[in-house]
């Protein structure tokens, strides 16, 4: 299939013979590549990059956060999901926050709470799970010692990382909240003002040094995850929580275990894929499979109309039906059913946008009655960003990993535990503060899996790894590169860069570089468009990196979103 006309890529596609790493920051890629060159495998490399990410992108991720990893091991030809999402403390209750009569602007649309306590401070913290997840993945699949894998992060924490423009912008945007927390202020502010990126040789960048975190990482490297969940670090976290009105206890920490399970692949046009637990993407692809996208112009209005309508239905169903995947209150089989997707696809008019999209009834295809009924949490898809980072790796043995890790909002709860350097998540904002809803707060409750750590297979062999960050609609954003790779035969860089769009809050956000004629055609179909300009560091459609393995030659290709400081390197 010839490449589509229209948009050309702005970054070169990276090609390698043996291995590639694509990640959110140059330092993460350097650490991961170094591990591969010292004999580590793709899991070792991804874990090393994830620990480094806390130093390179401290607003996005860290050992006080959570994530998910999709792992394919070539020797067994098995794919495993290492799900290390946070869970609510045992003392969490559905009425723990005082609700206000205002709706949050993010995609979940939950009510605001007094003092923003669900997003900032000690009561916003869930059980931090990243250390457990990364160490579990390394123990199962890694080859190098944990001390060697974590060593690059320890070095950076001790020696410091220069502030770049992206880090400076995040610190500046969060400074007012950071000032409320002395331990965090001591790291990211100087005399109460944000640390600055360098401008000239006379004004070099400030450096973020995290000695306490370096010591914590040393303990984890030498003693394993038990040091974080049962030892001195756990005691420090629990003590700080108790002293400041937090709910997290030593028991919560010691009881945490990641959710690890063999992946059951889904299919799309003869390809198999896994998502790391996300079902929004699965439903959207199942709906699109009912249409012959490859016969459409990917630059044209019809293709974009069909994709928008599929995304609207998948997101509406997610908000209504998707809960904690470890529970039985969601219709998992129904949501991922091809038959259900056909029913949803039949609602799509190829000439006209649906004025309103209501949730469907996937329970019809579930083969069991619903265990309970819940009210619709919001009438419409909201807007807003989450903040994550990502790493995709493939090694010379054919092992391949897609990893996403997050703290929540920028700098999350803003709470740094004294003496540890651990910046804690604010994941409680991902649960509904109203009692009686599917995702209402409860002891041990986990969040919806809205991120997607994607691996794609062709004829039983790895074909692609995709992972993204920055948007709460990450799974919707993953839809674009998958369609571009499979339906339109694009290379990985073009697949990631191709102009994107997504439904939000009654409107369709779309890249304003999409042709005016196409925008007019979409508007004539009834879509309420909000054209948005993409700028470096200021984007609206997520931030993806990816890897593609050429089926005929085995050559590995890496690509990344050009509007962010991503990095790709191979050898």
**Is the distance from CB of 229 to CB of 66 less than 8 angstroms?**
no
Q: Are the C-beta atoms of residues 518 and 31 closer than 8 Å to each other?
A: no
C-alpha–C-alpha distance, residues 337 and 314, integer Å: 12
Catalytic residue among 166, 184, 388, 539: 388
| Per-residue H/E/C for 205-221 | CCEECCHHHHHHHHHHH
Cβ pair 414, 396 in contact under 8 A: no
Residues in the chain: 571
Q: Clarify whether 76 is annotated catalytic.
A: no
The answer to whether the beta carbons of residues 61 and 406 sit under 8 Å apart is yes
- Candidates 230, 294, 221; CA nearest to 256 is 230
User: Percentage helix, strand, coil, to 5, in the chain?
Assistant: 35, 20, 45
Cα 515 to Cα 512: distance, rounded to the nearest angstrom: 8
Per the CB < 8 A criterion, the answer to whether 248 and 241 are in contact is yes
* Rounded-to-integer distance, Cα 73 and Cα 275, Å: 16
Nearest residue to 498 via CA among 484, 482, 508:
484
Q: How far apart are the C-alpha atoms of 423 and 405, rounded to whole Å?
A: 14
CB 499 within 8 A of CB 308: no
Query: What is the Cα–Cα distance from 54 to 52, expressed in whole angstroms?
Result: 5
Count CB atoms within 10 A of the CB of residue 294.
Answer: 14
Which one, of 359, 357, 362, lies nearest residue 330 by Cα? Answer: 362
HEC string of 503-530 equals EECCEEEEECCCCHHHHHHHHHCCCCEE
Please tell me the distance from the alpha carbon of residue 82 to that of residue 141, in angstroms, as a whole number: 11
Per-residue HEC secondary structure of 19-33 comes to CEEEECCHHHHHHHH
396 Cβ neighbours under 8 A, 6+ residues apart: 18, 19, 36
C-alpha neighbours within 13 Å on the C-beta side of residue 537: 10
Q: Where are the beta strands (DSSP E) in 409-453?
A: 416-417, 422-423
CB 240 within 8 A of CB 449: no
Q: Which residues are catalytic?
A: 388
């Amino acid at each position: 299939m010839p490449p589509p006309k229209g948009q050309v890529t702005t970054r070169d596609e990276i090609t390698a013979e043996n291995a590639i790493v694509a990640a959110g920051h140059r330092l993460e890629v350097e650490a991961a590549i170094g591990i591969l060159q010292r004999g580590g495998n793709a899991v070792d490399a991804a874990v090393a990059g994830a620990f480094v990410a806390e130093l390179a992108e401290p607003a996005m991720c860290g050992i006080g956060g959570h994530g998910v990893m999709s792992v394919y091991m070539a020797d067994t030809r098995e794919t495993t999901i290492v799900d290390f999402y946070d869970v609510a403390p045992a003392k969490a209750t559905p009425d723990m926050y005082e609700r206000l009569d205002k709706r949050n602007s993010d995609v979940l649309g939950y009510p605001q709470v007094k003092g923003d306590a669900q997003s900032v401070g000690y009561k916003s913290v869930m059980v931090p799970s990243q250390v457990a997840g990364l160490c579990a993945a390394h123990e199962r699949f890694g080859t190098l010692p944990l001390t060697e894998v974590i060593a690059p992060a320890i070095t950076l924490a001790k020696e410091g990382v220069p502030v770049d423009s992206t880090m400076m912008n995040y610190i500046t945007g969060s400074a007012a909240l950071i000032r409320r927390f002395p331990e965090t202020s001591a790291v990211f502010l100087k005399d109460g003002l944000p640390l600055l990126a360098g401008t000239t040789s006379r004004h070099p960048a400030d450096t973020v040094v995290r000695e306490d975190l370096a010591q914590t990482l040393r303990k984890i490297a030498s003693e394993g995850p038990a040091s974080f969940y049962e030892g001195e670090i756990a005691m420090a976290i629990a003590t700080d929580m108790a002293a400041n009105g937090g709910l997290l206890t030593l028991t919560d920490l010691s009881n945490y275990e990641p959710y690890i399970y063999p992946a059951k692949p889904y299919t799309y046009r003869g390809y198999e894929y896994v998502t790391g637990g996300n079902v929004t993407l699965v439903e959207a692809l199942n709906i699109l499979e009912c249409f012959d996208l490859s016969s459409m112009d990917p630059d044209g209005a019809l293709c974009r109309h069909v994709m928008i309508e599929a995304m609207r239905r998948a997101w509406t169903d997610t908000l209504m039906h998707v809960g904690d995947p470890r529970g039985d209150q969601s219709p998992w089989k129904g949501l991922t059913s091809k038959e259900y997707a056909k029913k949803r696809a039949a609602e799509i008019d190829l000439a006209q946008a649906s004025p309103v999209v209501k949730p469907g009834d996937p329970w019809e295809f579930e083969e069991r009655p619903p265990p309970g009924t819940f009210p619709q949490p919001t009438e419409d898809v909201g807007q807003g960003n989450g903040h994550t980072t990502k790493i995709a790796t493939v090694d010379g043995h054919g092992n391949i990993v897609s990893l996403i890790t997050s703290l929540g909002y920028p700098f999350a709860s803003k709470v740094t535990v004294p003496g540890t350097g651990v910046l804690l998540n604010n994941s409680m904002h991902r649960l509904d503060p109203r009692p009686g809803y599917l995702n209402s707060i409860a002891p041990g409750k986990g969040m919806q899996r809205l991120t997607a750590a994607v691996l794609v297979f062709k004829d039983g062999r790895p074909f692609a790894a995709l992972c993204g960050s920055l948007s709460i609609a990450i799974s919707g954003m993953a839809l674009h590169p998958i369609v571009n790779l499979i339906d339109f035969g694009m290379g990985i860089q073009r697949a990631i860069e191709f102009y994107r769009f997504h439904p939000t809050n009654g409107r369709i956000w779309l890249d304003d570089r999409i042709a005016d004629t196409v925008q007019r055609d979409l508007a004539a179909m009834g879509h309420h468009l909000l054209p948005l300009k993409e700028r470096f560091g200021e984007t609206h459609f997520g931030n993806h990196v990816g890897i593609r393995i050429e089926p005929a030659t085995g050559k590995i290709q890496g690509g990344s979103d050009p509007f962010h400081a991503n990095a790709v390197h191979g050898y």
